[in-house]
Amino acid sequence: MDDAGQAKMHVIADWVFDPNSRYLSSGQAKHRLSPKAAQVLLNLVQEPGRVWSRDALLDAAWGGQTVGEEVLTQVIAELRRAFGDDFRRPRYIETVHKTGYRLLASPAGEDGVGALPGGWAADLEAYGTYLQALSLRETGGRTGLYAAIELYGTALRMNPRLAVAHAGLAEALLFTDYVEDPMDVPRVRGHCEAALRLEGGLAEAWSVDAHACAYQADFAGATDLIRRAVALGPSSSVVFYHAARVCMSALAFRPAAAMLERAARLTPGEPYALVLAGKLRRILGEASASRQNFSIALPRLDARLAEHPDDFRARAGRARCLHALGRPEDAAIDMELARTHAEPLAFHLANTLAHNGRTEAALDALEQVVDCGWRGPWARPWLDRDSDFDALRGNRRFARLATLVGPSA
């Protein structure tokens, strides 16, 4: 470590590492590393991107002591547990075959939290970064989602007391489920708690916390939280969207559809709530209301794609609308563009393909979702009622995948 043991703090994505205390923290998550793990991480973070050989790390951390490589393996495992990292799909520490290790996440400056000068300039820059993250979050792809998560973390490093950035980060983390990473519920709720400690009247944070609560099938707790959110934010489309998600988790489709339609009215031009509302109205057998939602959503999706041609979510939603409105040939074009998209959201892709009669491709996409850990007490009941998959219900492969998701209600 630095002279006199006074090493500076380092920011690693949305984590803060303090070599002096050996704490690695992010929001409410805090881990005190062992001395050797802290030393190894300090070496990695001081030269991000460098591939450290095992011998070099052993020499740096154990300083000439005769130890085996297994002690380094144990330290790397400790660091991965602290980060919540997966060696098969690493986001922080990568194993370089037959060589050693390197840090993947780029540190955001040498001084860590509060690196920018204080005052309004720092606050405005942090808020601008938050707004940039919000825009990226809406692009609907894997890269946009993870770029948003990183930018929310950057905003919080600039101003750790920016409540909306905590809430935005929590909401972005909710949707990692759609890009093949199981939701980290404690982390989501930790950022919600941080936001609400700073700004107790922030309705969006209450609604995101309710959504995460429903994900764990705590519907009573989620209902209490969403009532508070609606009382605080009766004009917030975000609040009504998450209220709908809470209802969907409880399979209460009629109130969910009404809340999605309310969310769409509160944000003119927003298409996705209407696409989902159209689907729910169809499940409920309300054909006219379903068609109306899809009809309103379609020009909004056209506008979205004119601005962001590579938006997967908009492309998949447009295919759904066109098919529902009796334009199967046009839907097939969008469906193929969605199928070959570089960054599909796998569950949305499975929905779109199944809805358009592409059985095997839909099953391939659904299997990808299941293999990546799509589970939860609400997952199987939702799958059993999702009308997009109705044509697959007699298929043996679909039945096998449904069993892996969870027991039938």
- In which band, very low, low, confident or very high, does the pLDDT at 65 lie, cut at 50, 70 and 90? confident
Q: Which residue has the higher pLDDT, 274 or 348?
A: 274
Mean pLDDT of the chain: 83
What's residue 344's pLDDT? Answer: 63
How many C-alpha atoms does 154 have within 13 Å on its Cβ side? 21
Q: Which residue has the higher pLDDT, 21 or 47?
A: 47
Q: Give CA–CA dist 156/162, Å, rounded.
A: 6
Q: Find, among 85, 78, 44, the residue nearest to 61 by Cα.
A: 44
- In which band, very low, low, confident or very high, does the pLDDT at 289 lie, cut at 50, 70 and 90? very high
Q: How far is the CA of 141 from the CAs of 122, 169, 171, 172, 318, in angstroms?
A: 29, 16, 15, 12, 15
Q: What does the pLDDT look like over 211-255, one tens digit per residue?
A: 999 988 888 999 999 999 999 999 899 999 999 999 998 889 999
- In which band, very low, low, confident or very high, does the pLDDT at 321 lie, cut at 50, 70 and 90? very high
What's residue 251's pLDDT? Answer: 87
Q: How far is the CA of 1 from the CAs of 38, 73, 106, 155, in angstroms?
A: 9, 21, 19, 28
What's residue 27's pLDDT? Answer: 52
Long-range contacts of 306-311 (CB under 8 A, 24+ apart): 308/139, 310/141, 310/341, 310/342, 311/139, 311/140, 311/141
Is pLDDT of 174 > 80?
Answer: yes
55 CB-near residues (< 8 Å, 6+ apart):
none
Question: Which amino acid, one-letter code, is at 67?
Answer: V
Identify which of 1-15, 165-179, 220-234, 352-366 has the greatest average pLDDT.
220-234
Q: Which residue has the higher pLDDT, 210 or 82?
A: 210
Identify which of 65-69, 107-111, 137-141 has the greatest average pLDDT.
65-69
Tokens representing 152 are: 């929310």
Q: Find, among 191, 123, 133, 190, the residue nearest to 158 by Cα.
A: 123
What's residue 204's pLDDT? Answer: 93
How many C-alpha atoms does 224 have within 13 Å on its Cβ side? 4
- In which band, very low, low, confident or very high, does the pLDDT at 371 lie, cut at 50, 70 and 90? confident
End-to-end CA distance of the chain: 56
Q: Residues of the chain with pLDDT > 70: what percent?
A: 86
Q: How far is the CA of 109 from the CAs of 17, 69, 115, 383, in angstroms?
A: 12, 31, 7, 45
